[in-house]
Copies of this chain bind each other. A is one copy, B any other.
Amino acid sequence: MSGRALHTTNRAASADERREAILAAALELFSERGFHGTAVPLVADKAGVGAGTLYRYFESKEALVNALYQRWKGEFAAHVMSNFPVDAPTRQQFATIWQRMTRFGHQNPRVLQFLELHHHGDYLDEQSRAVERSVLDPVVAFIEDAQHKQAIKPAPVEVIIALVHGAFVGLLRAVQEKRLVLTDEVLKLAEECVWEAVRR
């Protein structure tokens, strides 16, 4: 007699799982073959759903890639900046950011590849670009604060961000391409390098 609720519950859970399966499949394929290089039915196949089903969860291929982009850009930002140690010394704050970035990138190599590869796509909608911008705000705030404390160099914030983020991406790409293994030692080393790049 409780079959109705249970049924609904199961269905709902199942729907969530389906959505996640589609996003996971899309992440894997988009990160490797790019947006235009990936066929929708392939995504559906890998997700274990029918091609038509995918369109019940995402209005179009573009909607899918935007959902994926926003999801992971947000996750990355949250991972890096949540519970930020606002009162710690700058060096330690920097260490926190760097370690969170690299740990995230190490654990989710496809995500980083996906975000970098699709960063520029003209299929990204305004919301994706908004997420993109909003992610930067706390980072900018941190840097400006640190510069104010004369802890890091008085260069334009954009320069600091470009260098640090670029170095980070370069490092993970080397890992991705198996040119490098990301040991703790390497991580520490890289952190020290990048810190010296920006410290005052």
Contacts and interface: CB of A to CB of B under 8 A. Distances in A.
A193 B36 contact: no
B37 A189 contact: no
Contact of A196 (B113, B186, B197): B197
A140 to B, nearest CB: 11
A155 interface: yes
A113 B37 CA distance: 18
A44 interface: no
A167 interface: yes
The 7 A-B pairs of least Cβ separation, nearest first, read A166-B170, A36-B36, A197-B197, A36-B37, A162-B174, A162-B170, A166-B166
Interface of A: 32-37, 113, 117, 120-122, 153, 155-156, 158-171, 173-174, 177, 179-180, 186, 189-190, 193-194, 196-199
15 contacts: A34-B36, A36-B37, A117-B117, A155-B189, A156-B180, A158-B174, A161-B174, A162-B167, A162-B171, A162-B179, A163-B194, A164-B167, A164-B170, A166-B168, A167-B170
Given A32-B122, A158-B180, A166-B167, 16 more contacts: A32-B120, A33-B36, A113-B120, A117-B120, A120-B177, A159-B190, A159-B193, A162-B170, A162-B179, A163-B170, A163-B190, A166-B168, A166-B173, A169-B169, A193-B198, A196-B197
